[in-house]
Amino acid sequence: MPQPGRTAVVEEPAGASAWRVRVRMHDHPGTLARLAIRLADLECNILGLSVLPVPGGVLDEIVLRPATGLPRRRLVEALRAEGCECTAIIDADVHELVDPSASTLLAARRAVDDPARLAEVLKDVLAADVVTLVPATEANPARTESGHRAVFALAGGSALVARRRWAPFVQLELTRAGALLALLAAAARNAAGPVVLDRPDGAAIVLRKGVPGDADAVADLHRRCSMATLFRRYHSGVRTVPRRWLHRLLVPPRGTSVLAVFGREVIGLAQLIPNASGTAEISLLVEDDWQRQGIGTALLARLAVLAEAQGITELTADSLTGDDVLPRTAARAGLRTERAVDDGAKLRLFLPS
């Protein structure tokens, strides 16, 4: 007998197998009871049950251990004899038997710990055959393949496409997956909250998201920067920033900006712009008087955190050949760099694996 305060563990017989069975039935009293009796007659042991509402009835997902040697065909016939339709039977792993809500929460934890595994996590939550990351322009959400294909839009112009041959997705599953992705998106947005730098001189420098209201302060930042600093950022002889540029600097399309703020002054500006290839373009600008004080390193490290929250593992930046400022900044931020083979002015930065 189980001892108080301990969990009773039932050892599985060697070579035992389990099936995941989906059964469509009318939502009438007694139907499930008759089905359970029929399964007992076949010496099938029910290990888990989930009820999925569908139009015109319910879809029960039953995880069971079949009797040794029981053909799947015989199980299908037995279910049909009770007026039910068996829509799918696939192998299952009894060690994965977890309440769906708990399973989704565990999946969320895995995705938060490693955003690069988002497609893998969604595949597990949906019990899908495959989940792929594609550009949003190629996702084609209207193509459902009779319910066997589902599309989930992501930030940054990409989407996840899930496919499952063994059974169509039902609305409850899609809603659960959508809620998971919304939760992860909220967590990623929270990662963009303000951060106060811990500096030995006690200066209160805040890293925060840029907003349109910062336009005047960002214009002042550019006016205080030297021509050399502006050239390193823009690779042209920019001296002042046209007003129409300021909004794009602060709210870049599909991206975000991070400001380094000291008092009322913006002393640094960084951008992170994800693209459809799964990488993100970055840029940095730090006022001359604040250079070589760790501001650029802190901004770049912050961009790396935001990128990781979106599942991005590689960044790119324009950096003229022979200019080692950005590579050295990246090294201090813990990022490995290399020059692009086909474009020496393009620097690739890799987040730690």
Domain with residue 86: its CATH number is 3.30.70.260
Average pLDDT rounded to a whole number, residues 161-174? 92
Measured from the Cβ of residue 257, the count of other Cβ atoms closer than 10 Å reads 22
**Closest-CA residue to 24 (of 16, 12, 32, 34):** 32
Contact 316, 280 (CB under 8 A): yes
**Closest-CA residue to 306 (of 203, 206, 156):** 156
d(CA 134, CA 114): 19
Boundary residue ending a domain (66, 96, 126)? 96
Q: How confident is the model at residue 186 (pLDDT cuts 50, 70, 90)?
A: confident
More confident of the two residues 114 and 65: 65
d(CA 194, CA 192): 7
Q: Which of 96-105, 170-179, 195-204, 309-318 has the lowest mean pLDDT?
A: 96-105
> CA 261 → CA 119, 133, 173, 283, distances in Å?
36, 36, 44, 17
Write down how long the chain is: 353
Boundary residue ending a domain (81, 96, 111)? 96
Residue 221's domain is classified under what CATH number?
3.40.630.30
3 pLDDT above the threshold of 70: no
**Closest-CA residue to 257 (of 297, 293, 208):** 208
Contact 58, 11 (CB under 8 A): no
pLDDT digits (tens, 9 = 90+) for 278-301: 899 999 999 999 999 999 999 999
**Closest-CA residue to 348 (of 333, 323, 326):** 326
Residue type for position 137: T
d(CA 85, CA 226): 74
d(CA 86, CA 75): 9
- Residue 276 has a pLDDT of 82
- Residue 316 has a pLDDT of 95
pLDDT digits (tens, 9 = 90+) for 46-61: 988 888 878 777 889 9
Domain that holds residue 38: 18-96
pLDDT digits (tens, 9 = 90+) for 240-286: 788 888 999 999 988 999 999 999 999 999 999 998 888 999 999 99
- Number of compact structural domains in the chain: 3
Is there a single domain that holds both residue 120 and residue 83?
Answer: no
Is there a single domain that holds both residue 91 and residue 40?
Answer: yes
For residue 9, is it within any domain? no
For residue 5, is it within any domain? no
For residue 124, is it within any domain? yes
- Please state the φ and ψ torsions of residue 109, each to the nearest 5 degrees: -60, -40
Instruction: Report the SS3 class of residue 159.
Output: strand
- Residue 15 has a pLDDT of 39
Strands (E), 173-320: 195-196, 205-209, 256-262, 265-274, 280-286, 314-318
The whole-model pTM stands at 0.54
Please state, rounded to an integer, the average pLDDT across all residues of the chain: 86
d(CA 196, CA 203): 10
181 pLDDT above the threshold of 80: yes
For residue 204, is it within any domain? yes
Is there a single domain that holds both residue 247 and residue 322?
Answer: yes
Average pLDDT rounded to a whole number, residues 330-352? 88
Is there a single domain that holds both residue 151 and residue 254?
Answer: no
Q: How confident is the model at residue 188 (pLDDT cuts 50, 70, 90)?
A: confident
pLDDT digits (tens, 9 = 90+) for 11-48: 334 334 889 999 998 878 888 899 999 999 999 999 88
- Residue 5 has a pLDDT of 39
For residue 7, is it within any domain? no
Boundary residue ending a domain (40, 69, 96)? 96
- Residue 321 has a pLDDT of 82
Is there a single domain that holds both residue 200 and residue 344?
Answer: yes
Instruction: Report the SS3 class of residue 111.
Output: helix
For residue 8, is it within any domain? no
Structure tokens given for 52: 């999925």
Structure tokens given for 178: 């959508």
**Closest-CA residue to 159 (of 181, 192, 129, 183):** 181
CA 156 to chain centre: 11
> CA 285 → CA 11, 17, 136, 249, 257, distances in Å?
61, 60, 31, 11, 11
86 pLDDT above the threshold of 60: yes
